[in-house]
Amino acid sequence: MIMESAELSGTIDSRIVYKGECSRCGHEHGLAVGCAQEHAIALLRTLDEMNRIDFAVPEAEADPRFSIEYLHGDARGQMFGVLVCQDEQGGTHVLKAFSGQYNSVWCVPGWVPPLVDIDALNRISFDVERAIKRMGRMIDELPVDSLEREDLVNERKAVSRELMKDIHRLYQIPNFRGELVSLPDAVFGNGGIPSGTGDCCAPKLLGHAALHGLIPMGLIEFYVGRDNRSGTRKHGRVYSSCADKCGRILGFMLCGLGDK
């Protein structure tokens, strides 16, 4: 990855590190870091000073779940991202996002929301996940070499696969041509869609910009918190988008940007 070991430096960076091939047109589209570094430095400084991510609300109303200490404990850190945009009048907007959920919470004031309807996600997941857990308990009670256990294991796998397909269809992925498709239609290439595709910072940020008529000028993702277990993520360092997840949908999401 081009910037895997880079540090936040405040300089303008023209290297394209957020890119992918497009499922719509077959071409590769990308976006440079550009002017986003200085805003990422400011965000990291604010996180360190405020020691929480819900700094859009008064300290008296702060939610303990959103403390930065969470990232320095068992959670072992998380990716954050900044997207600098312009509106049609030339005004500058700075969007920020965290990857996935923060301490099991999807939406935090001041941060870009996910690309999936959380209420709909909960509705389709709740009963099915309970059934999957119930089958797991039943499997544990059956003899390891029994045919009944094997059948139940296969049934659980099939139910899990169908649930994941339903969840993927809930994700609405926009691009800068004004198009909006479900996640499977945005993914480039064959093969299964990894869990968590669409939940990283870059897709959240680009999706929000596309839906609100904003033109991206620079994008950056960086890590906050305790090193991950493999040692591949370190606090305050910049990383490229992941090839197996973001790399398969960013091409579609960026399609049409050059026409703006």
CA–CA separation, 147 and 254 (whole Å): 49
Residue 15 has pLDDT above 80, yes or no: no
- Residue 99's pLDDT is 97
**Tell me, what's the pLDDT at 5?**
45
Residue 7 is predicted with a pLDDT of: 67
Predicted confidence (pLDDT) per residue in 125-134, tens digit: 999 999 999 9
Is pTM beyond 0.85 here?
A: yes
In angstroms, the CA 80 to CA 193 distance is 22
* Whole-number pLDDT of residue 242: 87
> Checking DSSP bridges between strand 78-86 and strand 92-98, what pairing results, if any?
antiparallel
Banded model confidence at residue 2, pLDDT cuts 50, 70, 90:
very low
Q: What is the mean pLDDT of residues 29-50?
A: 94
User: Per-residue pLDDT tens for 134-176?
Assistant: 999 999 999 999 999 999 999 999 999 999 999 999 999 999 9
The CB density around residue 43, as the number of other CB atoms within 10 Å, is 21
Q: Which two tokens stand for residue 139?
A: 């499997």
Give residue 259's pLDDT: 76
The reported pLDDT for the residue numbered 260 is 61
Provide the CA 190 distance to its chain's centre, in angstroms. 21
Q: Nearest CA to 202 among 134, 252, 139, 142?
A: 252
DSSP 168-205: HHH-EEE-TTS-EEEHHHH--SSSPPPTTTT-SHHHHH
Per-domain residue ranges for the chain? Answer: 6-116+172-259, 117-170
